[in-house]
Amino acid sequence: MGDKIKILLADDHSVVRHGISLILREVYGNAEILHADNFNEVLLKLKEKVSLIFLDINLPGGNSPKMIEKIREKNSKVNILMFSAYDEEQYALRYIHAGANGFLNKDSSDAEILLAVRSVLKTGKYISPSIKEKILENVFLKTPINPLETLSDREAEVARLLAKGEGNLEIANRLNIQMTTVSTYKNRIFEKLKINNVVSLVEILKIYNN
């Protein structure tokens, strides 16, 4: 049962690729399923006529929205379904805006994975209910797609220094402000970006500064 198509699973964890492969086989039994564990291998596999790519955000050799542009240069018609453990409310719109056909969280059920695949192959897009809500917010409330746009210039400056690994004292000395002021900026940054640690801040900067 299913169409004769080629699906490329791009993830550096083999257990993830094989798990998705098993789910897809339930419906797309005749599909040819290709594997790639880094972005360079993705580009090589695109020499074949691939219909759909499951593309992990955090893929070695890629790891930014620029992956989509490079894929489109190789195959302008391929469907790209971002597949990530990252919070879709933080990352999905950025990748969809960059040209991805959809965004799927790795915590999704088997049924949702198959729904996303069917939707992308049939209509060229898949948007979860939570992302639809975000799009409506963006349209009606003018919520920025890029969360970094919510930061003031000084908050953005502090955020970049935090992401570089500088501590509160170093930042205070560099910017000639009090340590308590740095702490205030840090709290504001975390609140506006809806994060609670510097690791998450680094990831957001990596995504939205590209």
Instruction: For the chain, give every domain's residue range.
Output: 6-139, 147-208
In a structure prediction context, what are the per-residue pLDDT tens digits for the chain, which is 210 residues long?
A: 444 789 999 999 999 999 999 999 989 888 999 999 999 999 999 988 899 999 998 899 887 888 999 999 999 889 999 988 877 767 787 888 889 999 988 888 999 999 999 999 999 999 887 777 766 766 666 666 678 888 898 999 999 999 999 999 999 999 999 999 999 999 999 999 988 999 889 888 877 775
Q: What is the reported pLDDT for 185?
A: 95
Helix (H, G, I), strand (E, B) or coil at 84: strand
The answer to whether 103 and 84 are in contact (CB under 8 A) is yes
Domain at 6-139: CATH code = 3.40.50.2300
Beta strand 102-105 with 6-10 is unpaired
Q: What is the pLDDT of residue 63?
A: 76
Report if pTM > 0.75.
Answer: no
Pick the CATH number of 147-208 from 3.40.50.150, 3.40.47.10, 1.10.10.10, 1.10.287.3610: 1.10.10.10
pLDDT at 105: 87
Helices (H), 124-178: 129-140, 153-163, 168-175
∠ CA 201-190-163 to the nearest 5 degrees?
Answer: 30
pLDDT at residue 182, as a whole number:
95
Q: State the Cα torsion 24-26-32-38 to the nearest 10°.
A: 30
Give the model's pLDDT for residue 138: 65
pLDDT at residue number 33:
94
Burial class of 22 by CB neighbour count within 10 A (0 to 12, 13 to 18, 19+): exposed
